[in-house]
Copies of this chain bind each other. A is one copy, B any other.
């Protein structure tokens, strides 16, 4: 008989949730939450009982419970496993058996999930769609897998002003009332591990008292403390307790105050050691700084840290457990601690030190989502294993990101699967700042940690799949399928924009205002996403609307409004530089964005009775430093327009503009028709004065169609003058086609060179070759005799003097015996990437061992060419400052290139690192000799962490227009 849950049955007293009367209180508490979930689904809450009183009960227990034994559950397949549950129908009952407490809890939440309950039911108030009846087949029996990563959790950090104000206003402090929500969120997301807020809070004292710690332990949440808070005591607590007459002394200094510090730690272990913890060991300075001054030697530091570790291990043994192996301990190899671990050639580091045996070594990303050093093969069998501290939020150099979510899942997938493949499987913790708005990547991070088989390396669609999943788990049954699809697009879309540049790091100097049209294109993408999000929000009502607002609309709109504001500022500065009155129109739009930003934050702070008050408080605009000092709204550029009829003509996608005045004789050129697959070009017309400008196009070419041959450009506006090329009518002559825009006191000659496939020497059969489209124009040849003193080209002459290739569009792919390249879709910056797998091996220096990608390119002449590779800003995977890859042309031997700058170092102030993490890209330049005609450029994987997105090829000695994203892909056939 199927096991059925329904409103009717619940109302009859059936479907009761039965825990043994001796069951752990945490299990009972979660059972109550399950009951609440069921009430949300069915409209009626099942009873919580200790004994069966009606049909169709739901039993919950753990292996070894008398109740479970009585029910005849076969627990052999889950016994001794970590956090596993078995859900089966036994006669008329549903039985949820945990291999341990968390197993049972996850089992209960699994049932909720099956009933359509979102893991965010509590945290984001997601009401389930509801159902009247839910059946489980009579032969149902599922056993969960052991979670892939042992400790999986998040870190509430950088919690002022947002999370802190939120806690104070809504809960009266960082107490158990708020932590109950946090714990529930963690557990529903299948996490088990938490680092509490620590800027101003004292977790073991804010409950009030021990309430926070007690509740965590009850619910099965394993507590850690941040990487620099050893022995279960927080830095804030030392600040609070220290003093001249304090028993803990008055210096966070193990050299001068060993006794006080030791006592401080010992009391911490005594107080909180009885709970489930991962105990941080080691020591850093106060407030996340180095422990010793700059004058200390490496050896001084290592010796000190060794002494600290010995003391801490002794204290743990004496106070908690003689068997240290049974006490989860963690040492963070963070910032300056990393060198202490590795030492140098003269000084042995802490690696393999007996004091670290069994201690989980926590490695870190670079705070900006790129792994740092990973364990070498020899290191991987370290007892205690490895952990990873990752960031979805960061307060520090070069620019903090603390406001709303900016993390894009594909890169998280690539990075964290790399970590896993390198053996980092014992502890994953992610900094989620204020939690709020980071639910999307957080849910993914914890799902990935929980079920690596499903979401890990083997699943290249992992990020997409999770996005679908989070939309379904929150909107299924409430939104139409097409709207759910739209939700996925919105989540992917806004994080794609922020993957190009995080919001706080945006400014007016990021995107080029005109080159390759990147600012306008990104602006259009941004505005489309905002409009789509608005449209969907406006369709929705009630709780569905609110959940859409929280999960999608708000992080999307709040981020993109700021991104848009900066793009408008870039354009404002660009058009002001041109002297175009459109700058002033952009200035007004910027003001609107600022007002909208305030409105968004105000609304967040008042919506649903101020539930989220505080969560929008972080500074997020105009950082001039890594933090808010000196931050300011965009500087808007305006000027007094001329009182004359002055027309400005610019070419879309280039930085060319002119008024076509006699003396300067500036002539423009459009490169759009050099691409044989393109038939449309655009000129942008605006005014330098406050009066209307009339213009008239002289177009002697029958094959060009001009969108508006004669007209008026209004001040403060742009007019797009579209030029269509009718390739059927096109006939080549000796003179490059020209048009001229005649206006008051100006004659703007624009050359429009055309390439046909024949011109560029296309082969007959498409084979994925990239063709050189470039042309150098002759300024003396004239089709139109406009009155110009002397024709000149005002800027750099370089019409399509490059080939741009999206790396995933390789011509050929050759795997080696060791591995091969794979495409990672939508990796970042709107581009796919290629990366060689397995991702944890060095393919070596023998070309035969190295996976290869081949790009066929046709170039006009023999010579030196620059190849710019746009790669992920990966950090060296080892202590050597290298990531090698290989490159070679036309079968010549592969050159081994180190993509890491020689002065590169991860860390505050390093200019290379600061640049690449802020840009979320690195550009590596290689010189190749190419022959005239078709060349094969081969790119090889040599080392791990080589993730390529784009290749741009141009002649050595020539420059391309500066841009952020680089030129768009050119013609391929």
A550 located at the interface, meaning its Cβ lies under 8 Å from any Cβ of chain B in the complex: no
A919 located at the interface, meaning its Cβ lies under 8 Å from any Cβ of chain B in the complex: no
A798 located at the interface, meaning its Cβ lies under 8 Å from any Cβ of chain B in the complex: no
| A629 and B594 contacting across the interface, CB-CB below 8 Å | no
A66 located at the interface, meaning its Cβ lies under 8 Å from any Cβ of chain B in the complex: no
* A973: B residues at CB distance < 8 A: none
A359 located at the interface, meaning its Cβ lies under 8 Å from any Cβ of chain B in the complex: no
Contacts A661-B627, A663-B629 known; A637 to B635 CB distance under 8 Å?
Answer: yes
Closest Cβ of chain B: how far from A356's Cβ, in Å? 29
Q: Using CB atoms, name the residue of chain B closest to A625.
A: B664
Contacts A287-B789, A624-B579 known; A632 to B664 CB distance under 8 Å?
Answer: no
Contacts A632-B639, A639-B636 known; A627 to B579 CB distance under 8 Å?
Answer: no
| B637 and A579 contacting across the interface, CB-CB below 8 Å | no
| A629 and B642 contacting across the interface, CB-CB below 8 Å | no
Q: Give 1 or 0 for each of A654-682: 1 = CB within 8 Å of chain B CB.
A: 00011101011010000000000000000
In angstroms, Cα B632 to Cα A86, docked, is 76
Q: Using CB atoms, name the residue of chain B closest to A640.
A: B633
* A594: B residues at CB distance < 8 A: 640
Q: Using CB atoms, name the residue of chain B closest to A789.
A: B287
Closest Cβ of chain B: how far from A199's Cβ, in Å? 11
A634 located at the interface, meaning its Cβ lies under 8 Å from any Cβ of chain B in the complex: yes
Q: Using CB atoms, name the residue of chain B closest to A396.
A: B663
A631 located at the interface, meaning its Cβ lies under 8 Å from any Cβ of chain B in the complex: yes
In angstroms, Cα B633 to Cα A659, docked, is 16
* A663: B residues at CB distance < 8 A: 626-629
| B661 and A629 contacting across the interface, CB-CB below 8 Å | yes
Q: Give 1 or 0 for each of A155-177: 1 = CB within 8 Å of chain B CB.
A: 00000000000000000000000
A87 located at the interface, meaning its Cβ lies under 8 Å from any Cβ of chain B in the complex: no
A893 located at the interface, meaning its Cβ lies under 8 Å from any Cβ of chain B in the complex: no
* A622: B residues at CB distance < 8 A: 579, 639
| A578 and B637 contacting across the interface, CB-CB below 8 Å | no
Main SS of chain A's interface residues?
Answer: loop
| A639 and B633 contacting across the interface, CB-CB below 8 Å | yes
| B634 and A636 contacting across the interface, CB-CB below 8 Å | no
Q: Which of B632, B666, B688 contacts A688 (CB 8 A)?
A: B632
Total number of A residues with any Cβ neighbor in B under 8 Å? 39
Closest Cβ of chain B: how far from A572's Cβ, in Å? 10
In angstroms, Cα B638 to Cα A289, docked, is 38
In angstroms, Cα B627 to Cα A578, docked, is 15
Q: Using CB atoms, name the residue of chain B closest to A579.
A: B632
Contacts A287-B789, A289-B790, A790-B289 known; A634 to B630 CB distance under 8 Å?
Answer: no
Q: Which of B576, B637, B640 contacts A591 (CB 8 A)?
A: B640
| A629 and B659 contacting across the interface, CB-CB below 8 Å | yes
In angstroms, Cα B327 to Cα A726, docked, is 65
* A633: B residues at CB distance < 8 A: 639-642
| B632 and A635 contacting across the interface, CB-CB below 8 Å | no
| A629 and B666 contacting across the interface, CB-CB below 8 Å | yes
| A627 and B790 contacting across the interface, CB-CB below 8 Å | no
* A638: B residues at CB distance < 8 A: 635-636, 638
Which residues of A in the span 815-838 have a Cβ within 8 Å of any Cβ on B?
Answer: none
* A688: B residues at CB distance < 8 A: 630, 632
Closest Cβ of chain B: how far from A689's Cβ, in Å? 10
* A658: B residues at CB distance < 8 A: 629-630
In angstroms, Cα B171 to Cα A369, docked, is 76
| A635 and B639 contacting across the interface, CB-CB below 8 Å | yes
Q: Give 1 or 0 for each of A64-108: 1 = CB within 8 Å of chain B CB.
A: 000000000000000000000000000000000000000000000
Q: Using CB atoms, name the residue of chain B closest to A665.
A: B629
In angstroms, Cα B638 to Cα A641, docked, is 17
Which residues of A in the span 561-606 have a Cβ within 8 Å of any Cβ on B?
Answer: 576-579, 583, 591, 594
Q: Using CB atoms, name the residue of chain B closest to A659.
A: B629
In angstroms, Cα B583 to Cα A499, docked, is 33
Q: Give 1 or 0 for each of A128-144: 1 = CB within 8 Å of chain B CB.
A: 00000000000000000
Q: Which of B577, B628, B631, B635 contacts A576 (CB 8 A)?
A: B635
Closest Cβ of chain B: how far from A72's Cβ, in Å? 61
| B630 and A579 contacting across the interface, CB-CB below 8 Å | yes
Closest Cβ of chain B: how far from A663's Cβ, in Å? 4
| B639 and A637 contacting across the interface, CB-CB below 8 Å | no
Select the residue from A576, A626, A663 with max chain B CB neighbours within 10 A.
A663
| A629 and B664 contacting across the interface, CB-CB below 8 Å | yes
| B287 and A630 contacting across the interface, CB-CB below 8 Å | no
* A790: B residues at CB distance < 8 A: 289
In angstroms, Cα B910 to Cα A526, docked, is 44
Closest Cβ of chain B: how far from A685's Cβ, in Å? 15
In angstroms, Cα B60 to Cα A864, docked, is 82
In angstroms, Cα B635 to Cα A632, docked, is 19
* A627: B residues at CB distance < 8 A: 661, 663-664
* A789: B residues at CB distance < 8 A: 287
Which residues of A in the span 341-358 have a Cβ within 8 Å of any Cβ on B?
Answer: none
Q: Which of B287, B625, B639, B657 contacts A634 (CB 8 A)?
A: B639
Closest Cβ of chain B: how far from A490's Cβ, in Å? 28
Closest Cβ of chain B: how far from A721's Cβ, in Å? 19
* A577: B residues at CB distance < 8 A: 635
Select the residue from A287, A624, A632 with max chain B CB neighbours within 10 A.
A632
- 5 closest A-B pairs (Cβ-Cβ)? A579-B632, A629-B661, A633-B640, A629-B664, A627-B663
Residue numbers of A with Cβ under 8 A of B are 287, 289, 576-579, 583, 591, 594, 622, 624-642, 657-659, 661, 663-664, 666, 688, 789-790
* Beyond A591-B640, A626-B663, A628-B661, 11 extra complex contacts between A and B, CB < 8 Å: A577-B635, A579-B622, A579-B630, A628-B663, A629-B658, A629-B663, A629-B664, A630-B688, A632-B639, A633-B639, A637-B637
Q: List 15 A-B contacts (CB under 8 A).
A: A579-B624, A594-B640, A625-B664, A626-B663, A627-B661, A627-B663, A627-B664, A629-B659, A629-B663, A633-B639, A633-B640, A635-B638, A636-B637, A637-B637, A638-B638
